[in-house]
Amino acid sequence: MRPPKPQPRADRVSLWRYLRLFRADILSAQPARLYRAWMAEFRTPFFRSYLCNDPALVDLVLKARPADFPKSDRIRAGLEPLLGRSVFVTNGAEWERQRRIIDPAFEGGRLREVLPAMWEAAAAAVARLAPGEVEAEAAMSHAAADVIFRTLFSVPIEDDAASRVFHAFRAHQRTQPILNLAALVPLPRWVPRLHGRQTRATAAHIRALIVQMTEARAAEIAAGTAPDDLATKIMTTADPVTGERFATAEMVDQVAIFFLAGHETSASALAWALWLLAANPDWQDRAAAEAATLGDTPDLAALGRMRVIRDIFRETLRLYPPVPMMVRENLCPETLRGRPVRPGAQIVLSPWHLHRHERLWAAPDDFDPGRWSTEAGRESARCAYIPFSAGPRVCTGAAFAMAEGVLILAHLLRAWRFARIPGADPVPEAHLTVRARHGVRLTVAPR
């Protein structure tokens, strides 16, 4: 069956009607023509926004001249209570310094080192399931958070500090979406971005808990007793240019985005993958047969042989990219597809529309993992597939996330069979990430 997709609006609406639709759901608020358009201009009283689907424009913004299209200040303002000045929101020299310290922790060789912890988290996810009905988003959120804490701080999700951060973050999710309205709502810069009292309170609580974990790790590093995990690697890495290391406050900002990006986005993708497999039992059976060959001990080579499951996860990220839109701002006068664009305009890149673009993908709304083994599918991916962004600002944990997704799916599928619940198919909408309006409900039975 064709996977669910929000029904786009087909008519023109007033600005204020658009804002009401946008607040309800970003995806269904957009017009249907965006699935065919190369570029669209949105005019507001205070600034203009350009959504770019043309692969040449996507490459221009993300790869050719990324310094001329930095992250929008509106993004930073919307996320500041939780993320401070993390690598996700900074630009220029500050961002370059942060990446020089962070990137070595996620280089190729580190995947082999974190695989045992990731494997343990996947096995724990299998053990937590029981026959009957399951809400997959909640289960995968738990699993993804477990991966983050085991690989970052060498503790399982059941650890007291980890559990408190996890539950505090779930409370924060209910107060403010990460794809924040501050980035896209047409307000002038001088209008302050106000955050609700609950949003500020939950963000402060999360950061206080992360401070405790970070300070405890700093003490272990000083005593020579720290485990060799991602937190230790990042906290002990000096910037090769300046020789500086992250101060505690800076590390808190980075841990906040690691947890947010590594937990929320992975949970979204895994839940959608399980629903797609439940809706396509032939692909589920193929994946389960492959998963049966994985083995019981951490093995990077065996993980690399999970080609069917990898293609299923890629196809999930195409249909349901966890971060559906990215916002940049042009610093210089530009001409985009013949249109003059003044400095300060919002440049919106939409993986949601790019991944389903009718001119760039064959049968764009169909679930077809087989497309990844065809030349046509690979060509589409080269020009129109950016689930982790692209260029210098590509997600530093992209390889980590792909390995995590494949590993957790393999563990789950060799132990459990997932089936749809009639009348309970999920309805995608985008707030924090691309999630289901009423969750992803499935039935689970032993395989």
Residue 179 has a pLDDT of 46
Residue 190 has a pLDDT of 47
Specify the CATH superfamily of domain 15-440.
Cytochrome P450 (1.10.630.10)
Distance CA 69, CA 348 (A): 11
Distance CA 361, CA 78 (A): 33
Instruction: Please report, for the chain, the start and end positions of each structural domain, with discontinuous segments joined by +.
Output: 15-440
Average pLDDT per 10 consecutive residues for the chain, totaling 447 residues: 73 60 68 92 80 97 96 74 87 95 84 94 97 95 94 92 84 57 48 61 86 94 95 95 92 88 89 97 98 94 96 98 91 95 92 96 97 97 96 93 97 98 90 82 97
Distance CA 35, CA 49 (A): 17
Residue 431 has a pLDDT of 67
Q: What is the pTM of this model?
A: 0.92
Distance CA 276, CA 47 (A): 39
Residue 10 has a pLDDT of 59
Let me know: does 334 contact 61? Beta carbons within 8 Å: no
Distance CA 201, CA 209 (A): 13
Let me know: does 207 contact 250? Beta carbons within 8 Å: no
Question: Which ranges of 324-397 does DSSP label H, i.e. alpha helix?
Answer: 351-355, 375-384
Residue 25 has a pLDDT of 65
Residue 78 φ/ψ, nearest 5 degrees: -70, -30
Let me know: does 257 contact 86? Beta carbons within 8 Å: yes
Residue 192 has a pLDDT of 47
The secondary structure element, H or E, covering residue 39 is strand 39-43
Residue 275 φ/ψ, nearest 5 degrees: -65, -40
SS3 at position 132: strand
SS3 at position 246: coil
Residue 201 has a pLDDT of 82
